[in-house]
Amino acid sequence: SFTRALRTPPQSLLHSSGPEWTENNKLWVQHVSTAPCNRMDVVNLQEELDLLLFQRGARELGLCSVRRELFSQCFDELLRQVTITCVERGILMMRVQDEIEMTIAAYQTLYESGIIYGLRKALQAEQDTIDLETKIVDLETENRDLERQVAEQKEICKVIGKREEDRRKLEERKRNVEIEALKRSNQQIKVFFPFSTFFVGTVNSLPGVI
């Protein structure tokens, strides 16, 4: 708790915050220095921070893991210096640091989730675009096939229409020929009929013809 931490000696508090790691099956703990600091230490710390930022190519704007790491190390050193001078202030700064780290972690999680969501949407949009392009190609192919079928049907209709027109003209010529033949026959009958009547009448008037 915060009250219990206030009763903790600065040396124990600083040692408890040191990093731990395992190497060659051995647990290593880095103890934080308890040497007091002065104004020149702060100036040197600032100069060393600026130098490391330049050497490691940290970006001045935007998200940068290098800049965040270096500033975190700088804050740890400031926290060490403050804790040696005033334990209460050091503990409060630790709480602030922990809160900032948790907030940054939460924002980082949201950022990564946003990136994953954006990538998923981008991939889905790309796939939808590919599907639409494929569908457009298929529809264009189908449209060309339908246009070809329409042209073929028009050509067939044209051929059938010409054939029917030729057949109609031929039938019309046949009818005209038959009509002319009937007209000539009728004319011949009209010319021949008076002579046939006269011939029948003459034969009937002969003696011995009943």
Residue 65 lies in a domain: yes
Residue 32 lies in a domain: yes
Residue 103 lies in a domain: yes
Can you give the pTM of this predicted structure? 0.49
- C-alpha pair distances (Å), 76 with each of 17, 28, 185: 10, 19, 133
Range of the domain at 15: 2-124
Answer with the residue of higher pLDDT: 5 or 202: 202
**Which of 25-34, 77-86, 149-158, 197-206 has the highest mean predicted lDDT (pLDDT)?**
149-158
Count of domains for the chain: 1
Residue 117 lies in a domain: yes
Phi/psi of residue 29, nearest 5 degrees: -125, 125
Q: What is the pLDDT of residues 95-153, one digit of tens each?
A: 898 898 899 889 889 988 999 999 999 999 999 999 999 999 999 999 999 999 999 99
Residue 34 lies in a domain: yes
Residue 25 lies in a domain: yes
pLDDT of residue 203: 46
Residue 167 lies in a domain: no
Are 36 and 42 in contact by the 8 Å Cβ rule? The answer is no
Residue 151 lies in a domain: no
